[in-house]
Structure 1
């Protein structure tokens, strides 16, 4: 697999994921993002979909107020549909799994500067994707 940078779409797997998203309809795009995040969170052993999960998380983060837009030259060229809010927690969990997996992509960077930049990307994405506090009110409790 080729990697040419530390961005979320700067590798062959994520670039192929972007092409697949471009070729899919809006509902299928949402499902593709959800599926790769679920596979990453539920994976046992090697995280085979880590690069795609980082790309999927970046797409969700781009829709958040603090998120950075995804460059259409690197990611999908087709606008993404609005992702449902429950994917936010799933994306955050997937990134946490990737960042802490000793056999995952994090320790595989040869250049220490690239490793640091990639970890910084994961940290920024995770910060944007922190699920908001629950706003559920306890109706049994007097105000």
Structure 2
């Protein structure tokens, strides 16, 4: 369930970040990004929500433009700098999330906040593009 349009403003993202905070490891972030970029067919919303959160974590690790959830401000320091190629992978995952056959994009289109959600995605893509 989403309560706002930000990358961490839904249950799947909140759970993903909480789990990552318990065991900070870039492999968990890269795994979901890789999965989403390689997913064929229909991309389910929970996977897409985790990919958006993972992309935001990469973006946060690269610069100061993304604010992590208040309970997990120390995650950036715990993870350290994102590995090489993480920005490219995150950007590709975001493209998949807003592309065709994405349940999350379809769900946002059903409401009034699709444009606001896309603005968040575009902001992440801009940060990630600077580090490719």
**Partner in structure 1 of residue 19 of structure 2:** 20
Q: Please say if 1:70 is aligned against 2:68.
A: yes
Residue 131 of structure 1: CA displacement? 5.4
Q: Take 1:51 and 1:21, find their aligned partners in 2: how far apart are those partners?
A: 15
Q: Please say if 1:56 is aligned against 2:54.
A: yes
Residue 130 of structure 1: CA displacement? 1.1
TM-score (norm 1): 0.79
Q: Take 2:63 and 2:11, find their aligned partners in 1: how far apart are those partners?
A: 28
Q: Indicate how the Cα distance of structure 1 residues 106 and 38 shifts in structure 2: closer, same or farther if over 3 A, else same.
A: same
Structure 2: gaps of 5 or more residues: none
TM-score (norm 2): 0.85
Structure 1: gaps of 5 or more residues: 134-143
Aligned-CA RMSD value: 1.8
1:87-140: CA deviations, max 9, x gaps? 11000000011111243311212322x11111111111011111546xxxxxxx
Residue 77 of structure 1: CA displacement? 4.8
User: Larger relative contact order (C-alpha < 8 A, sep ≥ 6)?
Assistant: 2
Aligned residues: 126
For the pair shown, the structure with the greater C-alpha radius of gyration is: 1
